[in-house]
Structure 1
Amino acid sequence: MTAKADSTPVKVHLKTKITIGEESDSFELVSFGRYYEKGDAVFLKYDEVQEEGTTHTIVKVTDRQALILRSGAVKMRMAFNELEEQNGSYESQLGTLLLTTKTKTLSHTQSDSELEGNFNLSYELKMQDSPVGDYVMSIHYKEEA
């Protein structure tokens, strides 16, 4: 992986809670990645290593919206906007499936004194117009000294 000259190594702590009906499941991941800014957007790049293989993840956050791109073992594109539903895609063995996200909350806060921040997102996810569940995701990142 080639690092951009203006990117900073960060430790990424991702928590995801998925609720489907009455059932809830939580996942946590700690990874090391890169942080960089381009235009009015903040980017986090990190890898998720799972049994199926490694997934490269890019999270792009601006004031009003966010985008999560995954490639590798999982290929997925999800967009988030508090004002309207967004379409995305998920590539599976069955072909490309349509994802729709309805964003409930989206926030990004960052420390002024050091490179550390939180990105919080909650959304309803549909796949091919069928509800998949409610997701609450939080990413905490901090510069690696």
Structure 2
Amino acid sequence: MPVKIRVKTDVAHEGESETFELSLFGQLFKKDGSTFLKYDEVQDEGIVHTIVKLANENALILRSGALKMRMIFEEGQQLNGSYESQYGTLLVTTDTQAFTHKSDDAGTGQAELVYNLLMQGDAVGTYTMNIHYELEENL
């Protein structure tokens, strides 16, 4: 199902903060009680294919193409993932503080992730990610 997706990410690190916003169209599908959002981002390095899986207790972000990344989120857990760069594969760890996901039968939903991100064991920031989606036909 075609869907409009808005992703807003606030990053706080050592007293500094940055906000990134993305608004694009993608696909929504549901499988085994989970919601999947699939979209492509155009970045300087090329196209990045992203799949976001939103389940009841956890979330997963998979990126492929110009950037390869796998991050898993579960509230109260530190979980390992990976980030592939031109320098090789790096270990990323998500320390999830909060995860919520609400959706309705009309195909509109909202998810929020709050997590500390570590790369190779070093803290790189506290991330607050808000994902809002709604079916194109509802716009």
TM-score in terms of structure 2 length = 0.96
Give the one of 28, 32, 54 matched to 1:35.
28
Which residue does the alignment assign to 1:133? 125
User: Residue 137 of structure 1: SS of its match in structure 2?
Assistant: strand
Which residue does the alignment assign to 2:104? 111
Equivalents in 2 of 1:32, 1:51: separation in Å? 19
Residue type of the partner of 1:30? S
Unpaired segments of 5 or more residues in structure 1?
A: 1-7
Which residue does the alignment assign to 1:4? none
Equivalents in 1 of 2:117, 2:130: separation in Å? 16
User: Residue 77 of structure 2: SS of its match in structure 1?
Assistant: coil
Give the one of 104, 114, 130 matched to 1:122.
114
Q: Report how many aligned residue pairs link the two structures.
A: 137
Give the one of 113, 127, 135 matched to 1:143.
135
Unpaired segments of 5 or more residues in structure 2?
A: none
Identical-pair percentage: 53
Check the 8 A contact 2:28/2:37 in 1, yes or no: yes
> Are residue 76 (structure 1) and residue 69 (structure 2) matched?
yes
Residue type of the partner of 2:54? V
Check the 8 A contact 2:108/2:134 in 1, yes or no: yes
Which residue does the alignment assign to 1:45? 38
Deviation at 1:52, TM superposition (A): 1.7
The 5-angstrom pairing of residues 13-28 of structure 1 reads: 13-28=6-21
Which residue does the alignment assign to 1:64? 57
Equivalents in 2 of 1:79, 1:17: separation in Å? 18
User: Residue 63 of structure 1: SS of its match in structure 2?
Assistant: coil
Check the 8 A contact 2:76/2:97 in 1, yes or no: no
The 5-angstrom pairing of residues 76-95 of structure 1 reads: 76-95=69-88
Equivalents in 2 of 1:23, 1:98: separation in Å? 24
Equivalents in 2 of 1:68, 1:27: separation in Å? 17
User: Residue 29 of structure 1: SS of its match in structure 2?
Assistant: strand
